[in-house]
Structure formats: structure tokens, C-alpha cells
Chain A
């Protein structure tokens, strides 16, 4: 079931075309991640969907609802954690949650949320004294207070240490278990790969591709890079290289000093043949590694840009 549908969104600020053409639909219950380089139009797209910025053109539909006619109904069914955590610093987490709860007719209990975001111990501490991770968790808690069907998380883990990041991943996965739909943006490829059901890559205001992380990686390339280094030095590497050139499965190879890198669609078969040859020649292989393709390679392939945090 489609819970959110976005069609041909456009937005420009003066002469800058921030979003040129963005269309996608999100299914109920999935974690949908939007990634893209800085300035690609992620936040602008999100803010249009969240009802903060009116689009120049295009349509946004929450099932039957749209912003022009049903703004208040939509506001009740979405929860938003903006990029800047946007909290009342002089209030405690408990007071922040209680205040936001009064905006909705059917809010969840503050108690429940505090437990979910694991801030029970800090409930009576002013927000300004909380750590970055704790603040971020509270911001997510505020997004959940109305028990929304769709939750928007805009870079929830940026600037957090690995432990704090894992805490937030746990919360996001719990939301999925509750049947909620999550729309996430992130700067971390690892995060997108681990959490998302589907990933959408945006570059220069346009959607480049949308698919599940695994099929994105699969469609990228069939070859794996295999890297070996030899104790017997450059000569050995050269000789193995000559032998490997006779194999069809190896599409490319490269020698650098004592190490050899091969690109092959069938790493297992290739290695089996290779080890047969080295055993015969009595060469010793020092190291073997097979590099898996990751979402990062997909990203670089599609946008032509190095990933920067």
C-alpha cells in the first residue's frame, strides 16, 4: 500500500534550481532512505513534503490527503525530526514531550516515549545539559509523540559517536517493528545500507536511482576485485599475471610491486585455478582479499562524486 506519493516536485530559490524533478512513492511500513551529496536537494524535498515550503510545481499526496486541503490532518499523521534538533533548551525532556503532546488529540504517553528513546534517567535534566546523542533521541521522541504513521528523520545520526549512532538505529528498527513508515536522510552509506528497505539517490535536484540496497549493488557490477601479494616478489607477481591473462573470467588485472589485483566475475573459480598454478610453481601467497562492492561504490558510480561526510 502506498502511503506517500510525490510527483514531479520542482522548487527554485531565485536563480538556484534546488529541486528539478523528484518523484517517488513510499509504501506503508518501509524505511525509505534519501541520500545525495550536499546541496543535492534532499532537505528542500523533505521540507516540501513536510508542508514547510510550497513547491513551485508537482504534487504531494498522503493517501487521499494533500497539503492544500487537509493540512491539519496531515500534520497529525506525520512526525518530524528536523536537521537542527529544535528543542526547548530550558525545559526538561519530560516537559518538552508533555508540551508537544498537548498539540495532538491522541498523543502517546510521555512515559512510553521516554522508555523507547531511553531517556528515563535524564527526564528531569534541562535539555541544554544533554549530550548530542541524547538530544537527537529526544528530537526523535518528539517526532513520535503523536503516534504518527509516517516519521521523517533528517540526518538523525550526523555528528554522533558510533555508540550513539547504534542507539538511534535501534530506535529506527523498533519503529519499523511497530509498523511505522520511516523516511530517512543520512550522510552515512553504512547506515543506509543497514537500515533501508529502499534507497533513493538524489543528485542536482533529480532522482538518479531508486531500489533496495542489495539490488543497487548487484546491478552496479558483477565483478569483484581480488587482491593478492606474493612473498617471492615482483617476478612471481608478473608470472602469475601472465598465467591469469589466459583465463576468460578475469576481465582486468594490474600488478603493483609484489601485489596483483584481478577483476573477476567468479572469484571462487579464479582463485581455485590460481592456487593450482602457485602450488605448481611453489610460490607463497602472503595475503588474499576480496573486496565487496558497497553502497558507496553505487553512489560514486551514479553521482561521479567522492563521498564526503
Chain B
């Protein structure tokens, strides 16, 4: 116990004095998150809205009915109170004064609603959202035309679809937390390479010091460091960017500990075959860079090309970030089987790399002591 206390205190001092650890472990993820959230999260327009104008050149009962309902969708900001001519609307779209023009049916018999957008914005988020909303809207209208009871909450459902963009803040926040914990694990073991290179491990083995306690105090230090990362990133995410977290603490605790340990095991494995700190950093960089983009940190795994997805589906970070999202945003309970499946795969990575690393260290210790 006395040894643990002193070893831990020494490790705490060393971590506090290691400027690199603070830069890459704390400062860098914070900056990265702030940049991404500012660009994509958009705290400036946290309320999604689209500027549209309505074209109703031949007012008829159908178009009037549609017009009055469209006007009730709160996220659609009308450029003009009254419908404009098609020509006028097309000019406004071309000049990008508005996001889109909605052309209502010209007669009672006509059934199509036309959405006119600028070619430049064709793939834009706003266009996607608008067309989604209108689709939904038309379907509801069809249902009601077929005699099904009118559902007036249809407009609120459209708003929910727009809300998904807001969720990107939560998505990114949990992604950044996962990334920074993973990186702390994978990069942090550079200490071990350094200690080995300097002969410190050998030196400690020549004292009666208990190496298990030394390793354990090191692990506790790393977990504490990652808790600082979680708390700091969450605070910035929630208070500066308005992320909404619904945390299930038991799940979070399990995902966090298993994840942090697994990525430390990965770093341990890298350290077992790296002779220099430079070699180690190279490997850690390649792996973390790959995982950063393939594991759904910044973009959902579902949106990356199909042929890459099998790779994503074996990476440990994919499951770690999923587990963190489950426990921090969706409040998934500890009894959920999908949660355990994910962290099971994560733990498998941890165990496998730890065993491999240990074997390599054993082999090396016989040769390297010359």
C-alpha cells in the first residue's frame, strides 16, 4: 500500500509534467471538437429552417388546402406572404435568395408538388431535409385524401427529422470522447518504450519493488487521465455547444473501463515490438488515423462506402464509440444485449493484444538483456 501510494504519486507528478501528454490528450481533442462542432454542429443556427417561396399560379381547392397546411410547418420560412409567379420564384432560386421554391398543383386533378432548388444545392443538407419533409407531407396528404383520419402532428414529425442535424453535436461529442480515450491509450504506452530504452524497467527489476503494483498504479493514473478527458469534453460539449446527454452511469462505467483498458492493451502491444519511441509513434499514428475515419467518429459508419464497412465492423473503436453513444446519449441500460456484444468485441481486442504483447516482451527480454 505504501509502495502503491508513492508509485502513484510519482506517476501523477510525471503525468502533470509531461507537456506532450496534455497537448495530445486534452488540448488537441478539445480544439478538434471545437473546430468540428463550429463547422458542422452549427451553434449559430441551432434551429433548422429553410427559406422557401410558394408558387400557386392557378389557385384551386387542392392547392389552397396544401398551401394553408404548408404554411403551418414552422421550419419553413416564407420569403413572401403571398405566392409568387413561377418565373419570379425561379429567379430567386437562381440568385440563391431562397433555398427552394415549392410549386403547387395547377388544378384539382394534378397530383404532383414540385420542389425547385438550385443545382449547386442539389446534394445539400437543406435540400435533403426539405425533400424529406415534403415527401412525408405528401404521404400524409394522400392518406387523408384516401379518407384516413387527418393527422395534424405530421408537421411535428417533420421537425423531428430536422432535429437529426442538431443531434450531430451529441454524435460528435461522444465520438471525440471515444477518440481521445482511444488515443490516450494507444499513444500513452510510449512511456513504456521510453522506460525500456532507458533501462528503467531493468533498473526497477533489480530492486525489491513490486512490478505488479507499479503497473497497476500506472493503469489507475491512465484511467484518471481519461476521466479528465470525458468530463472536460462533456462540459464543453454540453455548455458551449448545447449537446444533450442522457447518461446511464453503470453502462458508461463499464464501457469506459473496458474501452480504456483495451486501448491501453493495444498500445502495450505496439510497444512490445517498437525499439524506439519514433517507431512506436509511427505505428500509433497510422492506426489511430485509420480508425479515426473508419469508426464513425466524425461521420456515421452507415454513410461510408459499403466495401469499407466490413473493415469498420472489426475495428475496436467502432464498438467503443457505439458503446459510449449508447450509454451517454441513448441511456442504454446495462442489461442490453447489443451493448454487451459491442463491448465484448472491444474486450476481445484488449485481451488478444495484451497476450500478444506479453509474449513478445517475454521473447525480447531474453535477447535484449545482452
Contacts and interface: CB of A to CB of B under 8 A. Distances in A.
Given A52-B369, A90-B18, A82 B208 contact: no
Most chain A CB within 10 A, of B6, B7, B14, B207, is at B207
Contacts of B282: none
Interface of B is mostly: helix
B199 A86 contact: yes
A82 B199 contact: yes
B202 A44 contact: no
B17 interface: yes
Interface in B1-27: 2-3, 6-7, 10, 13-14, 17-18
Interface in A107-126: 126
A83 B208 contact: no
A14 B363 CA distance: 12
B367 A50 contact: no
B65 interface: no
B370 interface: yes
B198 A102 contact: no
A247 B123 CA distance: 111
Interface in A123-156: 126, 142, 146
B6 A98 contact: yes
Contacts of A103: 3, 207-209
In which size bucket is the chain A interface? 35 or more
B207 A95 contact: no
A84 B198 contact: yes
A52 B205 contact: yes
Given A84-B199, A86-B198, A86-B203, A99 B10 contact: yes
A78 B2 CA distance: 22
Contact of B208 (A86, A88, A89, A104): A104
A75 B206 contact: yes
Contacts of A296: none
A27 interface: no
Contact of A88 (B200, B205, B207): B200
B202 A82 contact: yes
Given A18-B370, A53-B369, A102-B2, A88 B14 contact: yes
A132 B18 CA distance: 21
Contacts of B3: 102-103
Nearest to A80: B206
B218 to A, nearest CB: 12
Contacts of A53: 369
A50 B369 CA distance: 12
B350 to A, nearest CB: 27
B205 A13 contact: no
Interface in B202-236: 202-203, 205-209
Contacts of A142: 203
Most buried by B among A53, A102, A142, A146: A102
Nearest to B4: A102
Q: Of B7, B14, B203, which is in contact with the most chain A CB atoms at under 10 Å from its CB? A: B203
Nearest to A47: B369
A79 B18 CA distance: 29
B370 A13 contact: yes
A37 interface: no
A95 B207 CA distance: 16
A76 interface: yes
Contacts of B202: 52, 82, 86
A50 B200 contact: no
Nearest to B16: A90
A222 B208 CA distance: 50
A100 interface: yes
Given A18-B370, A86-B199, A91 B14 contact: yes
Contacts of A267: none
Contacts of B7: 99, 102
A298 B178 CA distance: 65
Contacts of A69: none
B370 A83 contact: no
A112 to B, nearest CB: 19
B370 A44 contact: yes
Interface string A243-255: 0000000000000
Contacts of B203: 80, 82, 86, 142
Contacts of A82: 199, 202-203, 206
Contacts of B208: 72, 75-76, 103-104
A72 B205 CA distance: 11
Contacts of B367: 13-14
Contact of B13 (A18, A47, A90, A146): A90
Interface of B: 2-3, 6-7, 10, 13-14, 17-18, 198-200, 202-203, 205-209, 366-367, 369-370
Question: Which 8 interchain pairs have the tightest Cβ spacing?
Answer: A86-B203, A84-B199, A86-B199, A103-B209, A102-B6, A90-B14, A90-B17, A103-B207
Given A76-B208, A82-B203, A85-B199, 8 more contacts: A44-B369, A44-B370, A47-B369, A53-B369, A78-B206, A85-B198, A89-B198, A99-B7
15 contacts: A44-B369, A51-B206, A53-B369, A76-B208, A82-B199, A84-B199, A86-B198, A86-B200, A86-B203, A95-B13, A99-B6, A102-B3, A103-B3, A103-B207, A126-B17
